[in-house]
Amino acid sequence: MSFSAHLDALFEHLRFASISTDSRHAGDVRNCAEWLAAKGRAIGLEAEIHETPGHPVVILRSVPKPDRPTVLIYGHYDVQPVDPVAEWRTPPFEPTLIDGRIWCRGATDNKGQHFAHFCGVADALAEHGDLPVNVIFLLEGEEEIGSPNLEPFLRSHADRLRADICAVSDTGMLGRGIPTLTYGLRGIACLEFIVRGPSLDLHSGVYGGAVANPALIISRIVASLHDEAGRVQIDGFYDKVEPLAEWERAMWASLPDGEAATQAETGVPGLWGEAGYTSLERRWARPTAEVNGIGGGYQGEGSKTVIPRQAMAKLSFRLVPHQDPEEILALATRHLQKVCPASCLIEVDKGHTGPSYVMDPHSPHGLAAQTALRRTFSDEPRLIREGGSIPIIQSIKNVLGIDSLLLGLALPDCQIHAPNENFTVENFEAGIRLNRALLEELAR
């Protein structure tokens, strides 16, 4: 198939508003799954749509041949919400080609990336009627909501998903044209909590000074998460965290300036973080506590003299090897309850979790991935860990017993999860070549 036909197909894929978190889009998620299955059948793959309690899982399988390795290729066809929608320069679900980039929600995270693998397989089948390895695509519709139904699916279908290695393009590249193998991801644990005070919003003049203000209390609770050195102050939070390995610190120190990159990519006025670590170490290999949302009280125009009856915050923790997400949620809950004064009530709701992941980039499969990256980008692969999470990667290890090669195609300025998400045409094309090289190397 020609590259422009692949591009047209990717545009079709991108037009589905497959936002997994928003029930109003459940039909779009399903239509996207059905489209993928039909595309798979059209290139000669066996396609199955599996129902789950949530969004469907799509499996595409090449006709299995004995005596050759099987590669599981994981991706997710669900996307993040598009708000704030006013900040998009092009309609979020109308892929638009400008300056060599495809602008659309899901362009990089993750439709463009997994579809590059699909196109690589399509080309190989069209050229040779065969593939160097057996391929199973595992495409889920719930990654952006923590993959709540995928591990049970892996367990119940483990026999049919048996593979030698998993390949995933859902991570980043250090920069344009820089081949990057990610050998570790942080884990995640989410929670939200409400601080309740008076039984109704109060006049802040009549009662102010005599009752605790939940918005103030929640600020103090949130502020208690870190000390002045940027360390998380939850008792036991670091107990299982291992010090960084010297070889990793040295390898990352030899990469282009991480402080400058972090500053440039984020536009912050100044950097921040745990004392004693570089930006890259903080982002890739140290655990964190973040506030993802906080609210309470009057947010409209002008002033309103009120003591709000409640305030809320949403937190997430990024975790590193050996930290157990459930245990971290328990420790965090204890901390929040301890810090909340008797003048207010606190209610904590635990959210989704996912473990961290690390593999050996010098294993035989890791070396095959490095060779494929070298062939695709004509440069020496950089070995990194990343701060984002793909919880199912560790489940794949636990349930299927295989590692995942994280061969990301996301550029630092691709704006995933933000308005104006984009994917370069260059990386879509490179991703197709990467798939070809990878399957060849894994066949050796």
106 binds, among ligand BES, Mn ion, none (CB under 5 to 8 A by kind): none
Task: Give least dist CB 435 to Mn ion, A.
Answer: 20
The residue of the chain with the least Cβ separation from ligand BES equals 388
Nearer to ligand BES, 15 or 76 (CB): 76
Alpha carbons 200 and 192: distance in angstroms, whole number: 21
With beta carbons less than 8 A apart as the criterion, state whether 289 and 225 touch: yes
**Closest to 11 measured CA to CA, from 119, 89, 88:** 119
Structure tokens at 143: 């990654």
Task: Give least dist CB 78 to ligand BES, A.
Answer: 9
The residue of the chain with the least Cβ separation from Mn ion equals 109
Binding track over 319-358 against ligand BES, x by CB under 6 A: -----------------------------------x----
Q: Which residue is listed with tokens 């799509």?
A: 58
Count of residues touching ligand BES (by CB under 6 A): 17
171 binds, among ligand BES, Mn ion, none (CB under 5 to 8 A by kind): ligand BES
- Binding residues for Mn ion, rule: CB under 5 A, are 109
Task: Give least dist CB 190 to ligand BES, A.
Answer: 8
119 binds, among Mn ion, ligand BES, none (CB under 5 to 8 A by kind): none
Radius of gyration (C-alpha) of the chain in whole angstroms: 23
* Residue 112 lies near ligand BES (rule: CB under 6 A): no
* Residue 28 lies near ligand BES (rule: CB under 6 A): no
Nearer to Mn ion, 6 or 76 (CB): 76
**3-class SS string, the chain:** CCHHHHHHHHHHHHCCCCECCCHHHHHHHHHHHHHHHHHHHHCCCEEEEECCCCCCEEEEECCCCCCCCEEEEEEECCECCCCCHHHCCCCCCCCEEECCEEECCCHHHHHHHHHHHHHHHHHHHHHHCCCCCEEEEEEECCHHHCCCCHHHHHHHCHHHHCCCEEEECCCECCCCCCCEEEEEECEEEEEEEEEECCCCCEECCCCECCECCHHHHHHHHHHCCECCCCCECCCCCCCCCCCCCHHHHHHHHCCCCHHHHHHHHHCCCCCCCCCCCCHHHHHHCCCEEEEEEEEECCCCCCCCCEECCEEEEEEEEEECCCCCHHHHHHHHHHHHHHHCCCCCEEEEEEEEEECCEECCCCCHHHHHHHHHHHHHHCCCCEEEEECCCCCHHHHHHHHHCCCEEECCCECCCCCCCCCCCEEEHHHHHHHHHHHHHHHHHHHC
Task: Give least dist CB 211 to ligand BES, A.
Answer: 37
Handedness of CA 235, 236, 239, 240 (dihedral sign): negative
* Residue 391 lies near ligand BES (rule: CB under 6 A): yes
Q: Which of 73, 104, 390, 442 binds ligand BES (CB under 6 A)?
A: 390
Among positions 181-200, residues that touch ligand BES (CB under 6 A) are 185, 188
Stretch that binds ligand BES, among 88-96, 152-160, 278-286, 388-396 (CB under 6 A): 388-396
Alpha carbons 344 and 341: distance in angstroms, whole number: 6
Alpha carbons 75 and 111: distance in angstroms, whole number: 8
Binding track over 119-158 against ligand BES, x by CB under 6 A: ------------------------xx-x------------
Task: Give least dist CB 316 to ligand BES, A.
Answer: 8
* Residue 170 lies near ligand BES (rule: CB under 6 A): yes
Q: Which of 248, 386, 421, 441 binds ligand BES (CB under 6 A)?
A: 386
Nearer to Mn ion, 109 or 123 (CB): 109
Stretch that binds ligand BES, among 24-32, 49-57, 93-101, 384-392 (CB under 6 A): 384-392
* Residue 296 lies near ligand BES (rule: CB under 6 A): no
280 binds, among Mn ion, ligand BES, none (CB under 5 to 8 A by kind): none
Nearer to ligand BES, 344 or 406 (CB): 406
Q: Which of 54, 120, 184, 388 binds ligand BES (CB under 6 A)?
A: 388
* Residue 285 lies near ligand BES (rule: CB under 6 A): no
Nearer to Mn ion, 42 or 85 (CB): 85
Give the orientation angle of helix 325-339 with respect to helix 214-223, to 10 degrees. 130
* Residue 109 lies near ligand BES (rule: CB under 6 A): yes
Nearer to ligand BES, 123 or 421 (CB): 421
Nearer to ligand BES, 287 or 354 (CB): 354
Q: Which residues bind ligand BES (CB under 6 A)?
A: 109-110, 143-144, 146, 170-172, 185, 188, 354, 386, 388-391, 410
